[in-house]
Structure 1
Amino acid sequence: MIDHYDWAGGREAMLRFGPADGPVIVAALPLFEEANRTRTFVVALLRALAERGIAGALPDLPGQGESCLATEKVSLMDIRDGFEAACARIARPVYALGIRSGALLDTLAPAEGRWHFASQSGPELLRELKRMAPAAASLDDCWWAAADVTEIAGNRISIAILSALEGVTPFGPEDELPLRVVRHESDPKPADLKVPGSPLWRRAEPDNDPALAALLADDIAAWVRACEG
């Protein structure tokens, strides 16, 4: 079902999946190019959750996806405000699902808990963006500072977002809300669960992994039911 939510900057679309009652998983795609590479997979994951009796939602966040706002016109706070508004639109218990840098976007969400897959910090994302920006190869860590907007992998990105990413990290275990972190087996960072498979965001073209989507849906469904008591 296609739904919508309103935030201070306008109205954005939101896909809805699954039953009309019970808790809802609200997903945040990674920022910028990785969103294109993971969207089909996240839709498959939310559909798999619906088959397990858990509802889901995938909002278009300000300046991302099919948003009417250009990426270069939004700040990190705008995107976080959009995710908060999408969660607030749902009058049911909400759990935030963050993929990669999507785990940086749920800080304001009225969520009962957070489930992060391969979560990434702001500085880690900046390092990856620098590798994709040919003109930045010989510059220092503030390689974007010479302009108000820079283009990376076809995305015109505001300097406000890049500057804000310098010091942000996903919520950690010290957060008061339930948090579960899942990573690939190839990822050396600590996690509550390690799963097989190759990172979709590393592939040359957008792709899907139905087996991984089913595995993660099993984990999310069990985790949500445990949180709900």
Structure 2
Amino acid sequence: MRKMLVDVMRSLEVLDIGSFLLDLPGTNESLLPLEQATLSDWQNAIQACAAQHQISHIISFRGGALAVSAMQDSRHWIFSPVKGAQILRTMMRAKVAADKESGRNTSLADLYAQAAAGPLELAGNIIGPELFAQLNTAEIPDMRNQRIVRLETDNKPGDVSIDGPALWLRAEPDDNPAMSSAIAGDIAAWAVS
């Protein structure tokens, strides 16, 4: 996904639209360990960044929409939004499958119990109990000024569909230049509308 985001940003630059991808608390170069980060931390960081840079257009992908729910005054372009519980279930199913291949018998109930008691490693990320609990109840926000974009294969309601694969479900990193270009084109049209 990060590769796709960078490709979209480069395409936007060619279209004379500036953008930046911020690191949230607990991610990438952050000094805060991920197991200490919360969804509230992410929401506060995005709001502070938007205020500092006077940003009025927010682009969110997948679970990123969960971190902008309090920003009702901004314009929102949201790609394939998903509930926090769905993100967690996908990561937990992957862990159950990986554990099974390693000869360990883990259930979703086991993982929920572990997450309530302490940090839990899912998909290479160590998620603390507070972030897990917040994500588990996080709903897709309904923003006043939003554009919902979905993949053509997605049957959920949206404002526009884009052809391409669900790169976030790939076991190995991949990209799709045509999809990245289509996303950038839709963002550019939306940004000036």
TM-score range, shorter chain: 0.7 to 0.9
TM-score (norm 1): 0.74
Q: Measure, in 1, the Cα distance between the counterparts of 2:161 and 2:134.
A: 30
Partner of residue 51, structure 2: 88
- Superposed CA deviations along residues 188-221 of structure 1, whole A, max 9, x for unmatched, are 1111111111111111222222211111111111
Query: Helix, strand or coil for the counterpart of 2:164?
Result: coil
- Tell me, yes or no, if the aligned pair for 1:120 and 1:170 is still in contact at 8 Å: yes
Q: Of residues 215, 218, 222 in structure 1, which corresponds to 2:182?
A: 215
Partner of residue 132, structure 2: 162
Q: Measure, in 1, the Cα distance between the counterparts of 2:111 and 2:123.
A: 18
Identical-residue share of aligned pairs (%) = 34
Q: Measure, in 1, the Cα distance between the counterparts of 2:111 and 2:119.
A: 16
2:34 equivalent to 1:64: no
Query: Helix, strand or coil for the counterpart of 1:183?
Result: strand
Query: Helix, strand or coil for the counterpart of 1:46?
Result: helix
* Bigger strand fraction: 1
- Superposed CA deviations along residues 51-85 of structure 1, whole A, max 9, x for unmatched, are 11211011001012222211101111011111112
- Tell me, yes or no, if the aligned pair for 2:76 and 2:147 is still in contact at 8 Å: yes
Unaligned runs of 5+ residues in structure 1 are: 1-37
Unaligned runs of 5+ residues in structure 2 are: 97-104
The number of residues matched between the two structures is: 185
Q: Measure, in 2, the Cα distance between the counterparts of 1:225 and 1:68.
A: 36
Distance change >3 Å, CA 192–CA 141, structure 1 → 2: farther
TM-score (norm 2): 0.87
- Tell me, yes or no, if the aligned pair for 1:113 and 1:179 is still in contact at 8 Å: yes
Query: Helix, strand or coil for the counterpart of 2:86?
Result: helix
Letter in 1 for 2:82: Q
- Superposed CA deviations along residues 73-113 of structure 1, whole A, max 9, x for unmatched, are 1111011111112212213x421111111111112347521
Q: Measure, in 2, the Cα distance between the counterparts of 1:86 and 1:107.
A: 15
- Tell me, yes or no, if the aligned pair for 1:87 and 1:111 is still in contact at 8 Å: no
Distance change >3 Å, CA 52–CA 138, structure 1 → 2: closer
Q: Measure, in 1, the Cα distance between the counterparts of 2:123 and 2:74.
A: 35
Query: Helix, strand or coil for the counterpart of 1:69?
Result: coil
> Structure with the greater relative contact order (CA < 8 A, sep ≥ 6): 1 or 2?
2
Q: Of residues 145, 169, 172 in structure 2, which corresponds to 1:202?
A: 169
